[in-house]
Amino acid sequence: MAHLARATAPRGLRLTPIARAAAAAIPVLILQLQAGTAQSARKPATLRYGSGLIDIPVASVLPHLMMTATYSGFRAPVPPMLGAGTSGGRDGAGEPSRAWFSDGSIAVGLLDRVEIGATFQHAADAGDGGRMLGAFGRVSLLPASVRGVGLAVGARYVSAPSYAGMGGRNFQPTRLGLPDPRFFGTAASAEEFATTFSPYVVATARLPGLQADPGYEVTVTAGWGSGMFAAGSDLDFYGDGASGGLFAGSAIHFTTGRGRTLSLMAEYNGFDVNAGAQLDFGGIRVGAFSLGLAGDGASTYRSRKFGVLGSVALCARDIGPCRPASRPAARDTVVLPAPPPDTVVVEVEAAPRLPAGSARTLCLATGVGVSVHVTAAGDTLAGPSRVPLSDLRPGIGFMGTYADGRDWFEQGSPITLGERSYERSGGPLRLDCADIVEIGSREGVPLFAERAAAPPYTVVHVPVRPGVWQGYSLVPDGTPRTLPDPGSAARPSLRINSGVRSSTVSMSDCGSR
């Protein structure tokens, strides 16, 4: 084991190739803008500070009222210490021992914009340095759902450990959560080492997949911070060639089936190259990680360390462990009934010749459109074979959940989104799926708003039937008013299977008879 002592003189900032790559990643994030989705529960847990990668934060936060509890532990070599002098401790006699270090954290998301929590590091006796307690928080300034790139600011605070018989020095926590009497606020011939408070700014981008629905998601993160992200760059045994606060990382999240998500992560936290994997079993997560992959073994902090992690994610909406969200239906999908028994299916190479008419697109409650053909006679043709709706038995099923037939819609009741009320306004209308985005739901029926609109939304759109929508306007004073049942004139209709329940589609709405 190399001699572990403070550097005799401060050195200027030295950027390693990894640090220069981290600095270059920030403008790359800005170039990778694309349309994103709302806050997701598919977020790995850091070792000590809530959601993120392994030891660095990301720009997203936990969804509203989602709570995580995480335990992590790793084994590391610990040299014998003889005490702390004016310039730090010294190696003691004898071989280094190996110890198991444990950390824990609790985090909760608020309003899809804030994540706060508490951290518990090194549960040990006071003679070994005492327990280090802390808190952390992050605020999303630009959610990734806006333009595909997120921006957030945050901070971490960890209490300074205390040691008996050390003269009341202002000792400082380390980036590994180890109690080490060599680290204190001021020291002769060394730079200031202050790590109790660590503010940072971070950006995260979602990168497009190789196909429309690849079954995986790739994220790239870069940021800068002070405190633990930067302090100690002048100490050879603590971090040789540190970046001065720059950090970066990437993760790829695979959907493996049955609601399971596998996350593979790699990062540079300003000192170490770390890697790990986590598997989410629908709210219960297990993982393994390795710290200091590029370490040379010269000290505890520059050695490779292996550990495990366990985490539980609880969601208020699920009243228990967070259940995975179902994957959206494929675009332009028409669900046809299975052929009856003893039916010979003949595949025709050429597409059928279409009669005179026009093509139309019905915007479904899934947020995607489906194409149909309306003939000059008024018949609606669907599917690759252009089968008339009237020839299908028992019916054609379109994906999605609709408001038609539900009590609250038939009675004209207002709807609530967040803390705001909306009431029905205007008549039925048609929408282009490219112009709207899902923002919530009412009893399983999704709610949409204009893609260009920003909260608080003035108009919310509700899918009534495939291709038919109803607008709801914001109540100015926040007090909902009960509207009378608008009723509807009798008209020929077709019963279709909407996936969750049956809905009625007017022939005039679909252009068929």
- Convert the pLDDT of each residue in 406-415 to its tens digit: 999 998 899 9
71 CB neighbour count, 10 Å cutoff: 16
**Pairwise pLDDT comparison (287 vs 507), residue with the higher score:** 287
* Residue-level pLDDT at 145: 59
2 CB neighbour count, 10 Å cutoff: 13
- DSSP for residue 345: P
What are the extents of the domains in the chain? 17-321, 328-513
Non-local (6+) Cβ contacts of 326 within 8 A are none
3-state secondary structure 351-391: CCCCCCEEEEEEECCCCCEEEEEEECCCCEEECCCCEEHHH
pLDDT digits (tens, 9 = 90+) for 179-213: 777 777 654 434 578 889 999 999 999 886 655 55
Is residue 147 over pLDDT 80? no
Q: Which tokens is 461 given? A: 């759109």
* Residue-level pLDDT at 95: 56
Considering only CA atoms, give the Rg of the chain.
29
Stretch 30-34: mean pLDDT, rounded? Answer: 38
Total-model pTM = 0.54
Q: Shortest CA distance to 25 belongs to which of 245, 339, 358, 249?
A: 249
CB 139 within 8 A of CB 114: yes
Non-local (6+) Cβ contacts of 487 within 8 A are none
Residue for token pair 């049956």: 502
CA distance 133 to 101: 14
Q: Which CATH architecture has domain 17-321?
A: Beta Barrel (2.40)
Q: Shortest CA distance to 15 belongs to which of 5, 7, 6, 24?
A: 24
* Residue-level pLDDT at 153: 96
**Phi/psi of residue 149, each to 5°?**
-130, 135
Kindly tell me the number of DSSP H helices and DSSP E strands found in the chain.
4, 27
Is residue 2 over pLDDT 50? no
Q: Strands of 380-382's sheet, edge to edge?
A: 357-363, 369-375, 380-382, 387-388
User: Which region among 47-51, 340-344, 397-401 has the lowest average model confidence (pLDDT)?
Assistant: 340-344
* Residue-level pLDDT at 254: 85
Residue 138 CB burial class (10 angstroms; 0-12, 13-18, ≥19): buried
Residue for token pair 């900032």: 13
pLDDT digits (tens, 9 = 90+) for 66-84: 999 999 999 887 765 533 3
